[in-house]
Chains A and B, each alone.
Chain A
Amino acid sequence: MSIFNRGHLFGLIAAVAIAGCSSSAEDTTAVDEGAGTAVVAPVTSTTDTGASTSSILSQRVVYFDFDKSAVRADAYEILQAHAQYLSSHAGARIRIEGHADERGTREYNMALGERRAKAVQSFLNANGAGAGQLEVVSYGEENPIALGHDEASWAQNRRSELVYTSEAP
């Protein structure tokens, strides 16, 4: 009675199952990629200068100028505090992540991110951290903090993050 024989019907169900899988996968795409507005996740507070060492150690991001990898003077205090902590805690380990803003090419930014992370690595080494305590990885422009397409966002994304993988303060 049916225009479909059993074989056809199974084929159709299989097709639907496959299509269903891919469409449900697509359903997860409804994220707010929207109008290019800046969604800024505050990562660290830099307002409490002259605070105790422990609050300085809670600051784990330092920033860079465009296409530059020199550690800026405003990062010295934070990095010195972490270097001291590492030299007095032999079991502590950090992964230094280098990041770039979205401008320019991805692979060049990957190299730039590594340069930034290595600049931080050298600074920490020079200030007492052991070489074996530090590991470096670049994410280039892949992991922005701020999602806007403007200088305020870019300035936050040109950064290096200290990620404790063992014995965090």
Chain B
Amino acid sequence: MLNRAFIKIVLFWAAFALATFAHAELRIEVSKGADNATPIAVVPFAWESGGRASDEISTIISADLYRSGMFKPLARSDMLSWPTRADQVFFRDWKALGMEYLVIGRWSNAGGKYTASFEIFDVLAGRTMKSATASASNPRWLAHYTADLIFEALTGIKGAFATRLLYVTMERHGPRNQRYRLLVSDSDGYNEKVIRDSKEPILSPSWAPNGRHITYVAFQHSHPGIYIQDTMTGSAQRITSFPGLNGAPRFSPDGQKLALTLSKDGNPEIYVVDTRTRALQRVTSHFAIDTEANWSPDGGSLIYTSDRSGGPQIYRQSLATGAVERLTFDGNYNARASMTPDGRFLAMVHQDSGGFQIAVQDLERGSFNVLTDTPLDESPSIAPNGTMVIYATLERGRGVLGVVSIDGRVKVRLPSSVGEVREPAWSPFMF
């Protein structure tokens, strides 16, 4: 009897702890979907292994598609039937529900490897568009990867759901009494894991191209240092801690170098450091502030923020020739730029006359587009497929994350219950 009572208590606390933990994660709210979001039904997948399935992967897939803002998934309670094989599909039913696409599937677990087989149907044409199989080491990643394949089949663009986010939270307990945490989670905010926990500032996290190592700035004993850390083993190494600024580290596209900001020679300048030999190469020499360097996708040049013209603007400098070119002319404040993987667009923090917003400049056509309309937006980070930008914004005075499509048509909020969330960094593709 005692034993059973104990189990009940344990179960109660387990449920409570899980609920609390889930509560700590980022929530998703689509604040502005595309006007013509595509109706799609993702039917619960049949579980083909023994026992009960640990997750309902169709729910995760639907949530991913919803979060893209490009799809309007049907709630499973509104479905007339739950087919799991092609011969069970009656297109008439799905047409009556206004669906354009239908996804059905089956999944199983063999020795810790989860596999899903699924079919995508074009409801209006009444035909199969795609049959595919996906595998992953856990159900949530299987769902995200499946969502990626569905997204790609329907849009022609590789999905970026099976990716991760890195971000910083800050809890303020009083003046000079703050707690910073560097966290990593799946792209939907689940599986949050603490990378570093400190009373001193942590900032500027970003990913190595291998999707496993990260770099960031952390203060220790009132002095900043630049670190590289392995997110799998947790082992960290300090790369620089020169007198003055040690800031804004970014991995080169080949993962061998970091671009960073140091003021050891008296003024904030951009350097490139070899992560193995630690050899330093100075890139800028100007009395202005030069910082926030980022690499062009080919690794041949750096784009960075400089106030050499009076206010901060974005410049591009060739690493081979040293030739410098100013890229931004709209507004009086443009900073922290990064390039889409195709090198076409530049996302940045922009101020014209009012607040600070996320803006995108088309480097081919020269057009400039302000994507957000909240007053204190910062830290844009581009999804590896180049379609979305995640950024930090304020919601009722509190720091939260937002996602906006590169064309500004879709906006998503990712509020969290943990302090201020800031400086999101979207990982490279993991598959």
- Please report A residues at the B interface, Cβ cutoff 8 Å: 1-2, 4, 9, 12-13, 15-16, 19-20, 22-23, 26, 28-29, 31, 33-37, 41, 67, 95, 102-108, 110-112, 114-115, 136-140, 142-143, 145, 147, 149
Once A111-B289, A147-B172, A149-B376 are accepted as A-B contacts, the answer to whether A106 and B423 lie under 8 Å apart by CB is yes
Contacts A34-B398, A104-B351 known; 17 new A-B pairs at CB < 8 A:
A19-B17, A19-B20, A20-B13, A26-B21, A34-B396, A36-B396, A36-B398, A67-B312, A106-B378, A106-B379, A107-B292, A110-B203, A111-B263, A111-B289, A114-B268, A139-B201, A140-B201
B410 CB-CB contact with A under 8 Å: no
Tell me the smallest distance from the CB of B305 to a CB of chain A, in Å. 6
Q: Are B17 and A20 in touch, CB under 8 angstroms?
A: yes
Q: Are B10 and A105 in touch, CB under 8 angstroms?
A: no
Give complex CA distance A107, B375 in Å.
19
Q: Are A110 and B20 in touch, CB under 8 angstroms?
A: no
B283 CB-CB contact with A under 8 Å: no
B203's partner among A106, A111, A145 (CB-CB below 8 A) is A106
Interface-located stretch among B41-49, B76-84, B272-280, B414-422: B414-422
Closest chain A residue to B355, Cβ basis: A103
B residues less than 8 Å from A103 (CB atoms):
351, 356, 376
Q: Are A37 and B397 in touch, CB under 8 angstroms?
A: yes
Give complex CA distance A137, B224 in Å.
9
Q: Are A108 and B291 in touch, CB under 8 angstroms?
A: yes
Interfacial residues of chain B within 323-357, with CB under 8 A of chain A in the complex: 333, 335-336, 349, 351, 356
Tell me the smallest distance from the CB of A148 to a CB of chain B, in Å. 8
Interfacial residues of chain B within 378-398, with CB under 8 A of chain A in the complex: 378-379, 394, 396-398
A2's partner among B4, B173, B336 (CB-CB below 8 A) is B4
| Chain B 15-51 interface mask (CB, 8 Å, partner A; 1/0) | 0111011011000000000000000000000000000
B152 CB-CB contact with A under 8 Å: no
B residues less than 8 Å from A23 (CB atoms):
16-17, 20-21, 24
Q: Are A108 and B292 in touch, CB under 8 angstroms?
A: yes
Closest chain A residue to B398, Cβ basis: A33
Tell me the smallest distance from the CB of A36 to a CB of chain B, in Å. 2
Q: Are A111 and B291 in touch, CB under 8 angstroms?
A: yes
Q: Are A104 and B333 in touch, CB under 8 angstroms?
A: yes
Once A12-B10, A31-B171, A114-B244 are accepted as A-B contacts, the answer to whether A108 and B335 lie under 8 Å apart by CB is yes
Q: Are B263 and A114 in touch, CB under 8 angstroms?
A: yes
A residues less than 8 Å from B24 (CB atoms):
22-23, 26, 29
Once A16-B14, A104-B333 are accepted as A-B contacts, the answer to whether A36 and B397 lie under 8 Å apart by CB is yes
Tell me the smallest distance from the CB of B1 to a CB of chain A, in Å. 9
Rank and list the top 10 A-B pairs by shortest CB-CB distance, nearest first.
A36-B397, A19-B17, A23-B20, A142-B201, A111-B268, A105-B336, A111-B289, A107-B248, A105-B335, A26-B24
B residues less than 8 Å from A115 (CB atoms):
289
B222 CB-CB contact with A under 8 Å: yes
B171's partner among A12, A29, A35, A137 (CB-CB below 8 A) is A29
A107's partner among B311, B336, B351, B397 (CB-CB below 8 A) is B336
B113 CB-CB contact with A under 8 Å: no
B residues less than 8 Å from A31 (CB atoms):
171-173, 419
Closest chain A residue to B10, Cβ basis: A12
Give complex CA distance A147, B173 in Å.
12
| Chain B 201-224 interface mask (CB, 8 Å, partner A; 1/0) | 101100000000000000000111
Interfacial residues of chain B within 96-155, with CB under 8 A of chain A in the complex: none
B residues less than 8 Å from A136 (CB atoms):
244
Give complex CA distance A139, B175 in Å.
14
Give complex CA distance A13, B17 in Å.
12
Closest chain B residue to A33, Cβ basis: B398
Closest chain B residue to A103, Cβ basis: B356
Give complex CA distance A108, B379 in Å.
11
Give complex CA distance A35, B289 in Å.
34
A residues less than 8 Å from B14 (CB atoms):
12, 15-16, 19
A residues less than 8 Å from B375 (CB atoms):
149
Tell me the smallest distance from the CB of B17 to a CB of chain A, in Å. 3
A residues less than 8 Å from B176 (CB atoms):
143
